[in-house]
Homo-oligomer: A and B are copies of this chain.
Amino acid sequence: MPRLSKDQCLSDLKLRILSTALAPGSDLDETTLAEHYGMSRTPMREVLHRLAGAGFITTSENRGAKVASMDIGTMRTFFQTAPMIYANIASLAAEARTGPQMDALKDAQHAFTKATAAQDAQATALANHRFHAVIGEMAHNPYLVASLDRLLIDHTRLSQRFYQPANANEKMLIVKASDQHDALITAIEAQESALAIDLSLQHWDLSRDRMERYVRPDPLPVDVVSLKDRRNAV
A-side interface residues toward B, CB under 8 Å? 42, 45-46, 49-50, 52-55, 74, 77-78, 80-82, 84-85, 88, 140-144, 146-147, 149-151
**Min CB–CB distance A17 → chain B (angstroms):** 16
Contacting pair B142 A74 (CB below 8 A): yes
CB nearest to A74 among chain B residues: B142
Q: Other than the known A49-B53, A77-B140, what 20 A-B pairs have Cβ atoms closer than 8 Å?
A: A42-B42, A45-B46, A46-B49, A49-B49, A49-B50, A50-B52, A52-B53, A53-B53, A55-B146, A77-B143, A78-B143, A81-B141, A143-B147, A143-B150, A143-B151, A144-B147, A146-B146, A146-B147, A146-B150, A147-B147
6 intermolecular pairs with C-beta atoms under 8 Å apart? A77-B141, A143-B147, A143-B151, A146-B147, A146-B149, A147-B147
Q: State the CA gap A176–B78 with chains docked (Å).
A: 35
B residues in contact with A142, CB < 8 Å: 55, 74, 77, 150
- For the complex formed by this chain, how many copies does it contain in all? 2
Q: State the CA gap A149–B150 with chains docked (Å).
A: 14
B residues in contact with A55, CB < 8 Å: 142, 146
Q: State the CA gap A164–B203 with chains docked (Å).
A: 48
10 closest cross-chain pairs (CB), A and B:
A53-B53, A146-B146, A49-B49, A147-B147, A81-B143, A143-B147, A143-B150, A77-B141, A143-B151, A146-B147
B residues in contact with A45, CB < 8 Å: 46
Q: State the CA gap A84–B141 with chains docked (Å).
A: 13
B residues in contact with A81, CB < 8 Å: 141, 143-144
Q: State the CA gap A118–B222 with chains docked (Å).
A: 66
CB nearest to A42 among chain B residues: B42
Contacting pair B77 A88 (CB below 8 A): no
Which of A50, A77, A85, A147 is the most central at the interface, judged by chain B CB atoms within 10 Å of its CB?
Answer: A147
CB nearest to A139 among chain B residues: B77
**Min CB–CB distance A73 → chain B (angstroms):** 8
CB nearest to A53 among chain B residues: B53
Q: State the CA gap A27–B45 with chains docked (Å).
A: 23
